[in-house]
Amino acid sequence: MQTYDISEKGLRGLNSTLQAQRDATNQTSWQVVNPKGSHAIAVGLDAPIEVTVKGSTGYYCAGMNQQATIKVEGSVGPGVAENMMSGTVVIEGDASQYAGATGHGGLLVIKGNASSRCGISMKGIDIVVHGNIGHMSAFMAQAGNLVVCGDAGDALGDSLYEARLFVRGSVKSLGADCVEKEMRPEHIEILKDLLERAGADAKPEEFKRYGSARKLYNFDVDNAAAY
């Protein structure tokens, strides 16, 4: 395992070093120490490496991630895993606003709570939150799955497109065009897989599913993959 000390070598050097792993290397396991709330840690990675951040971070940690597995042993500021494409990001603590925003793919796991706008404009990412989420989460979410093992705040799924929302606890209110939907066997299977991958011990049968009423935009199911 390679160890990188941000307090000694700086943030710019860290991201340059990790991004360079895309060009073939056998240094596949990294430990980042003394993050001290630094912003934009481990952004733009595009290699199947594992990065463990030993402490809390600032905004945009693990942004634009591809292939890498990034674990934060602490909490994160706004925009964690923003525009994520693939790979896995695991947050052991809490996440601030717009976690997983505009994410196209991969899995984001938040073992604590997430603040407002979690999953805003998500485009295919899977997000599993072990705790609660704040207001306006999944606003204009287009594709992917948002799983909440706790409660959801106001205006969940406002202006939703085709993302699936699963909530085990209470929902303070639903946003425009978001409605509760039937939980069919295929949704139970999707949820079971996501909960297992996220290390959550909740049962799929305990969740309710929410989705778009499809009244705010022109929707043709035959073109669903293009939205």
- Summarize pLDDT for 126-185 with one digit per residue, the tens: 999 999 999 999 999 999 999 999 999 999 999 999 999 999 999 999 999 999 999 999
* Residue 27 pLDDT: 84
3-class state of residue 77 by DSSP: coil
DSSP state of 78: T
Q: pTM score, two decimals?
A: 0.94
Domain locations along the chain: 2-214
The class (CATH top level) of 2-214 is: mainly beta
- Summarize pLDDT for 69-87 with one digit per residue, the tens: 999 999 999 999 999 999 9
| Whole-angstrom distance, CA of residue 203 vs CA of residue 20 | 41
- Summarize pLDDT for 15-60 with one digit per residue, the tens: 999 999 988 777 899 999 999 999 999 999 999 999 999 999 999 9
- Are 167 and 152 within 8 A, CB to CB? yes
Percentage of the chain surpassing pLDDT 70?
Answer: 95
